Amino acid sequence: MKIYLDTCCLQRPLDSKNQLRIILEADAILGIIELCDAGKLQLLSSTVLLYETQQNPKKVRRLFGLTVLANAEKFVVFDKQIEQRARLIEGYSIKPLDALHLASADVGGADYFCTCDDKFLKRAKNVVDLKVRVVSPLELVEELNDDEH
């Protein structure tokens, strides 16, 4: 199963644990990363993820993200198909960079696209013709748990 974690998901384990939701999502993301490291899931990276992660001004966050992405089994290279798909996705009131992430996951063959951004999540679930399933970290854990039973 191929998983694409957007940048906010990659960074969630480093967020301040001042809300129960953040604690649960951080644990979910760490568990997903662990399953990827163990070879039970496949982590996808992309030109877009690498670019955004490299732009992080906070060294610890940047290095954490790059370390996780270095273990990705598949790398989705930005191309015209992703650019065209992203332009269509932007039509759902989705920010350009978010659209590029979602297009990368979709074109790259991800089974799940995971984000912590509620507004983006809601809008992305309305995009028609997506091959990838858009979920929150907690929804992804629930889906993975269902697949085990």
Q: What percent of the chain has pLDDT over 70?
A: 99
> What's the CATH code of the domain at 50?
3.40.50.1010
* Residue 22 covered by a domain: yes
Q: What torsion, rounded to 10 degrees, do the Cα atoms 91, 93, 98, 99 define?
A: -10
pTM of the model: 0.95
* Residue 148 covered by a domain: no
95-102, long-range: CB < 8 A, 24+ apart: 95/120, 97/48, 97/52, 98/6, 98/124, 100/48, 101/4, 101/6, 101/7, 101/46, 101/48, 101/49, 101/52, 102/127, 102/130, 102/132, 102/134
* Residue 149 covered by a domain: no
Domain total for the chain?
A: 1
* Residue 111 covered by a domain: yes
Q: What percent of the chain has pLDDT over 90?
A: 95
* Residue 97 covered by a domain: yes
* Residue 95 covered by a domain: yes
* Residue 120 covered by a domain: yes
**pLDDT tens-digit series, residues 83-99:** 999 999 999 999 999 99
**pLDDT tens-digit series, residues 24-35:** 999 999 999 999
Which domain does 8 fall in, by range? 2-143
Mean pLDDT of 33-47: 96
Q: What torsion, rounded to 10 degrees, do the Cα atoms 39, 6, 85, 55 define?
A: -120
Answer whether 126's CB lies under 8 Å from 92's CB.
yes
